């Protein structure tokens, strides 16, 4: 998603340049100038203002913003789950399907080849030095795992967030669950693109 957003921002800059160049051509044609194209600052402001209006229109409400995320960034909104009983204060959890997330990850170009090559490289190193262990698969119980499968790791973390402009400025405690493909090369393990949010629970205490 981050890469898609970054690419779209770069495309936005390209579109802005194209729009400004188009405005410059219109001005030069109207003024019948055949020399180097020039454009007034007022026309640049109008072009940028036009882009701003389009952005505001596409994000004027939450529903439309989410729909744009689905259409252009393949965004999957989390599913809300009520986890408290009827007599208790309402508490919710939100989850994103690991299956859907993994499908998107493995559909990326060269991702499967990257994982397979990393596993093969680790196995070669282990054959040369049996004292090394890179993952759970290299342990005693790991030998029972299907060799054609990829492993995932789950991480749990607790965070506190506040809404300083809202009517209630108290601290909201949230438990976050992330997952990571264990077989991904070390150089990518700490990057945001490889750490995936799976579940978060809003706690009242």
User: In the chain, where are the structural domains located?
Assistant: 2-73, 79-203
Q: How far is CA 100 from CA 31, 77, 83, 105, in A?
A: 56, 11, 23, 9
**What is the band of 167 on the pLDDT scale with cuts at 50, 70, 90?**
low
8 or 101: which leads in pLDDT: 101
Residue 1: pLDDT over 70 = no
β-strand partners of 181 = 152
SS3 (DSSP) at 154:
strand
The pLDDT score that the predictor gives to residue 32 is: 53
Dist CA 9 CA 15 (whole Å): 10
The pLDDT score that the predictor gives to residue 78 is: 83
And the tokens for 45? 């402001």
The pLDDT score that the predictor gives to residue 121 is: 87
pTM over 0.75: no
**What is the band of 198 on the pLDDT scale with cuts at 50, 70, 90?**
confident
Residue 31: pLDDT over 60 = no
Looking at the chain, the whole-number percentage of residues with pLDDT higher than 70 is: 84
**What is the band of 118 on the pLDDT scale with cuts at 50, 70, 90?**
confident
**What is the band of 204 on the pLDDT scale with cuts at 50, 70, 90?**
low
Residues ≥6 apart with Cβ < 8 Å to 113:
none
Mean pLDDT across 86-105: 83
The pLDDT score that the predictor gives to residue 89 is: 81
The pLDDT score that the predictor gives to residue 2 is: 57
Q: How far is CA 42 from CA 30, 46, 201, in A?
A: 16, 6, 50
The pLDDT score that the predictor gives to residue 153 is: 86
Residue 65: pLDDT over 80 = no
Q: How far is CA 178 from CA 21, 62, 70, 91, 118, in A?
A: 45, 25, 21, 20, 22
The pLDDT score that the predictor gives to residue 27 is: 67
């Amino acid at each position: 998603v981050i890469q898609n957003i970054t690419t779209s921002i770069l495309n936005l800059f390209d579109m802005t340049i194209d729009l400004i160049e188009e405005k410059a051509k219109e001005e030069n044609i109207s003024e019948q100038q055949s020399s180097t194209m020039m454009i007034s600052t007022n026309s640049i402001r109008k072009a940028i203002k036009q882009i701003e209006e389009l952005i505001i229109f596409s994000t004027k409400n939450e529903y439309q913003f989410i729909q744009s995320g689905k259409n252009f960034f393949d965004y999957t909104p989390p599913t809300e789950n009520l986890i408290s009983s009827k007599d208790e204060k309402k508490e919710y959890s939100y989850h994103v399907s690991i299956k859907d997330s993994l499908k998107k990850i493995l559909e990326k170009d060269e991702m499967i080849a990257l994982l397979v090559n990393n596993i093969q490289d680790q196995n070669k190193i282990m054959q040369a030095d049996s004292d090394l262990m890179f993952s759970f698969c290299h342990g005693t119980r790991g030998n029972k795992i299907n060799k054609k499968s990829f492993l995932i790791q789950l991480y749990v973390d607790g965070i506190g967030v506040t809404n300083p402009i809202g009517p209630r400025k108290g601290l909201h405690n949230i438990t976050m669950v992330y997952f990571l493909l264990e077989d991904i090369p070390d150089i990518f393990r700490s990057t945001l693109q490889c750490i995936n949010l799976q579940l978060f629970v809003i706690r009242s205490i």
